[in-house]
Amino acid sequence: MQNTPLPISVAARVLVLVGSIAGLGLPVALAAAPEAESVERGRVILEENCARCHSIGEAGVSPLAPAPPFRTLHDRYPLENLEEALAEGIISGHPAMPEFSFEPDQIGDIIAYLKSLDGG
């Protein structure tokens, strides 16, 4: 019989089960890793598509003065309300902003990143 490595998702479930039985608290630690990966993917998407005009980080001014820093978006809108606009295409009232639309998995990553900026 040939030894075949377990897929990561199966190995993670085994670790969660074993860690839970042993009382190690591994489910919390393992859950944080995919969330951190989602946040990082969201940051990369925004860096590639939005950073030319918007400040996408925790500090700094936007390169284009009228473009709001993304760390302030939660003050303007509930972040979940942006999901539909991100899917259908963000259209701005000013002509300098191109239209963007994203896939569902990208939207989840973008929202995760934006939430990380407001501490949530």
pLDDT digits (tens, 9 = 90+) for 67-84: 999 999 999 888 888 888
Is residue 1 situated within a structural domain? no
Is residue 3 situated within a structural domain? no
Q: What is the pLDDT of residues 21-58, one digit of tens each?
A: 445 554 544 455 678 999 999 999 999 999 999 999 99
Question: How many of the other CB atoms lie within 10 Å of CB of 55?
Answer: 19
Tell me the CATH number at 23.
Answer: 1.10.760.10
* Domain, as residue range, for 83: 8-117
Domain count, the chain: 1
This prediction's pTM: 0.69
